[in-house]
Amino acid sequence: MDEIQLRTADMLDAGQAALVQLSQLAVAYSFSILGAFILLIVGYVIAGILERSVYAGLGQFRGFDETLRKFFSKTARYALLILVGVTVLAQFGVQTASIIAALGAIGLAIGLALQGTLQNIAAGIMLLALRPFRVGEYIDAGSVAGTIEEIGLFATELKTFDGVYVLAPNSELWNTPVTNYSRNPTRRSDILVGIGYNDDIGKALSIMRDMMANDSRVLKAPEPMAFVAALADSSVNVNMRYWTSAGDFWQTQFDFTRAVKTAFEENGISIPFPQREVRYVGAPTAGDTGVEA
């Protein structure tokens, strides 16, 4: 019975000692805990304010892309939150230098593992900043051609002329010369037509000039032209050159190509097929079979 009482007394003494130690730790770290809690709340609030400020500030730049505004504002927010987290750990005596070194090593490893992805992100930022093309524009970038549907940080979505969906990595578009058919407001078109050598060149040129003058889609400046482009093997090539808005380019070219053929036929101007004149030198006579005895 006495042994049980002694064990009970020892347990009570150990519990009291543990409570005393806990209370001492609580008193010792109470200010650290309170400071860390306040720092977390303040840091979270300031991070939100910083995100909104960066987003609004970048919006002051005319034409700054919406995707880049969100990317940089989110980056600023999370960078501040990471800094707050490291500061909170320092409140409890954690060696932050080792944590920063570990974060740097982890970042380097991730960067090496995602090297291609990071290249696409960097290319995406450059494409959004320099804007060689925008949504709705038609481009040709080597193996990729189509209308821009969306420009993301990793890849760009396009729709080809025949309605096919294409997802192109940004690094491929950034490292390739891009031809933008929609950027400039006007475009020049040339329609080359071959007529016969016996046809009236002046009449053909007059028909072309009248067609361009009577079409409201053809711009007055630069002035449209009709001229003889070349004396080809089988035809005299006449050319009609004019400028239209980028939106009217294709339809105007289609309409003129059909209209010039119809107008030439109605005015007796031929569009000859390729011809070749063959002459036989020393041709055999009618009674000569060409076979030696």
- The domain 21-113 having CATH identifier 1.10.287.1260: the answer here is yes
Pick the CATH number of 132-180 from 2.30.30.60, 3.30.420.40, 3.20.20.70, 3.30.420.300: 2.30.30.60
Q: Given a cut of 90, is residue 241 above it in pLDDT?
A: yes
Better-scored residue on pLDDT, 182 or 70 = 182
The predicted-structure confidence for 183-215, as pLDDT tens digits, reads as follows 999 999 999 999 999 999 999 999 999 999 999
Domain boundaries, the chain: 21-113, 132-180, 186-266
Write the CB contacts of 183 (distance below 8 Å, at least 6 apart in sequence). 133, 137
Task: Please give the full DSSP string across 92-134, using - where no structure is assigned.
Answer: TT--HHHHHHHHHHHHHHHHHHTHHHHHHHHHHHHHHHH-SS-
Q: Given a cut of 60, is residue 293 above it in pLDDT?
A: no
pLDDT-based confidence at residue 59 (cuts at 50, 70, 90): confident
Q: What local confidence, expressed as pLDDT, does residue 23 receive?
A: 62
Q: What percent of the chain has pLDDT over 70?
A: 73
Cβ distance 267 to 203 under 8 Å?
yes
Q: Given a cut of 50, is residue 153 above it in pLDDT?
A: yes
pTM above 0.85, yes or no: no
Q: Given a cut of 80, is residue 72 above it in pLDDT?
A: no
**Fold of the CATH domain 186-266:** Alpha-Beta Plaits (3.30.70)
Better-scored residue on pLDDT, 244 or 78 = 244
181 exposure class (CB count in 10 Å sphere: 0-12, 13-18, 19+) = middle
Q: What local confidence, expressed as pLDDT, does residue 184 receive?
A: 92
d(CA 120, CA 65): 17
Q: What local confidence, expressed as pLDDT, does residue 233 receive?
A: 86
Q: Given a cut of 60, is residue 283 above it in pLDDT?
A: no
Q: Given a cut of 70, is residue 244 above it in pLDDT?
A: yes
H-helix segments, the chain: 2-58, 66-91, 96-113, 115-130, 170-174, 201-213, 249-266
pLDDT-based confidence at residue 128 (cuts at 50, 70, 90): confident
If you average pLDDT over residues 2-28, what whole number do you get?
60
Up-side HSE of residue 253: CA atoms within 13 Å toward CB? 16
Which of 114-123, 127-136, 199-208, 278-287 shows the highest mean pLDDT?
A: 199-208
Q: Which of 91, 196, 89, 178 is nearest to 141 (CA)?
A: 178
159 token code pair:
């729709």
**Fold match between domain 21-113 and domain 186-266:** no
Q: Which of 100, 90, 174 is nearest to 139 (CA)?
A: 174
Q: Given a cut of 80, is residue 86 above it in pLDDT?
A: no
CA dihedral 63, 64, 70, 76 (to 10 degrees): -150
